[in-house]
């Protein structure tokens, strides 16, 4: 699955499934890529040879720039908006309902939906370059779909801080302090060494025990199957506003 809309690849080795997404525009996420990513997470979770999943992206720049601005700019109906934002709901719910523990590898900056991905994994590795921000309010919407995942990890105060101050970057150290990242490393090499070590340990651990841990970690989120699509409806409606259209055009016009 590749091309201008990006790609999602899965490799499985010794019980570890590595799901890697790529998009030429700073690993942004158009609707087609969101569907591929959600499918890949579900497939890896159901694979009998997989014990643990690693979620990662390509390159040495952004981990994930969030929603594709090209696709946001192309939305002209409420149905199109709902379909697009439901893509984020699909990915987060796939991560939530997977019976396998998911490790995150955040090698660089995360924006918007990328922050949601980092918060929806069960254990997240990052480098000191992995700043983050929830930029949605700056384009006339809000982190409605990813908000529950961010709030679950960092708490309401931290989520609201990021959502309100939508133009400010938060450091990787801040994300570590607020429970979004669990390990912080100076560079990609040391991060990958630590991630590989934990993945190997988990691949040799009891699948049943890890399944039960995962269920406990996500207790109280069973209503997200209904909640996240409702949040997607809000974003799908707001993205049609004149404010959003002007703000997205201004962002796209920046050099």
The count of domains in the chain is: 1
70 with 253: CB under 8 angstroms?
A: no
Q: What is the DSSP letter of 209?
A: H
Would 214 be classed as within a structural domain? Answer: no
Would 143 be classed as within a structural domain? Answer: yes
Per-residue pLDDT band at 17 (split at 50, 70, 90): very high
Residue 19 to residue 170: CA distance in whole angstroms = 26
Would 95 be classed as within a structural domain? Answer: yes
Would 131 be classed as within a structural domain? Answer: yes
- Structural domain span for residue 153: 7-203
Q: Is the dihedral of CA 151, 41, 198, 125 positive or negative?
A: negative
pLDDT of 84 higher than 70: yes
Would 213 be classed as within a structural domain? Answer: no
Burial of residue 81, with CB atoms counted within 10 A of its CB: 0-12 exposed, 13-18 middle, 19 or more buried = buried
pLDDT of 181 higher than 60: yes
Would 29 be classed as within a structural domain? Answer: yes
pLDDT for res 7: 97
Q: How many CB atoms lie within 10 A of CB 249?
A: 12
pLDDT for res 2: 36
Per-residue pLDDT band at 5 (split at 50, 70, 90): confident
Residue 29 to residue 88: CA distance in whole angstroms = 9
Would 124 be classed as within a structural domain? Answer: yes
Would 25 be classed as within a structural domain? Answer: yes
Give the C-alpha distances (Å, rounded to integers) separating 47 from 98, 123, 166, 254.
11, 20, 39, 44
Per-residue pLDDT band at 3 (split at 50, 70, 90): very low
pLDDT of 1 higher than 80: no
Q: What is the DSSP letter of 139?
A: G
Residue 146 to residue 184: CA distance in whole angstroms = 22
pLDDT for res 72: 95
Kindly report the CATH number assigned to the domain that includes residue 140. Answer: 3.90.226.10
Residue 215 to residue 236: CA distance in whole angstroms = 30
214 with 94: CB under 8 angstroms?
A: no
């Amino acid at each position: 699955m590749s091309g201008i809309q990006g790609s999602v690849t899965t490799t499985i080795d010794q019980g570890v499934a590595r799901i890697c997404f790529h998009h030429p525009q700073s690993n942004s996420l158009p609707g087609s890529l969101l569907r591929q990513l959600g499918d890949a997470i579900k497939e890896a979770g159901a694979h009998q040879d997989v014990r643990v999943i690693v979620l990662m992206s390509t390159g040495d720049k952004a981990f994930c720039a969030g929603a594709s601005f090209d696709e946001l700019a192309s939305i002209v109906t409420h149905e199109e908006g709902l379909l697009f934002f439901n893509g984020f709901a699909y990915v987060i719910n796939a991560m939530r309902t997977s019976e396998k523990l998911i490790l995150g590898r955040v090698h660089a900056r995360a924006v918007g939906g990328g922050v949601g991905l980092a918060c929806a994994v069960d254990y997240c590795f990052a480098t000191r370059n992995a700043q983050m921000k929830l930029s949605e309010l700056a384009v006339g919407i809000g982190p409605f779909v990813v908000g529950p995942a961010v709030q679950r990890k960092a708490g309401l105060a931290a989520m609201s801080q990021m959502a309100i101050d939508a133009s400010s970057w938060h450091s990787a150290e801040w994300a570590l302090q607020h429970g979004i990242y669990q390990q912080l490393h100076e560079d990609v090499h040391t991060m990958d060494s630590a991630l590989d070590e934990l993945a190997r340990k988990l691949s040799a651990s009891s699948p049943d025990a890890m399944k039960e841990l995962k269920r406990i970690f996500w207790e109280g989120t069973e209503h997200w199957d209904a909640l996240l699509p409702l949040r997607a409806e809000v974003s799908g409606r707001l993205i049609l506003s004149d404010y959003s259209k002007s703000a997205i055009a201004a962002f796209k016009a920046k050099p």
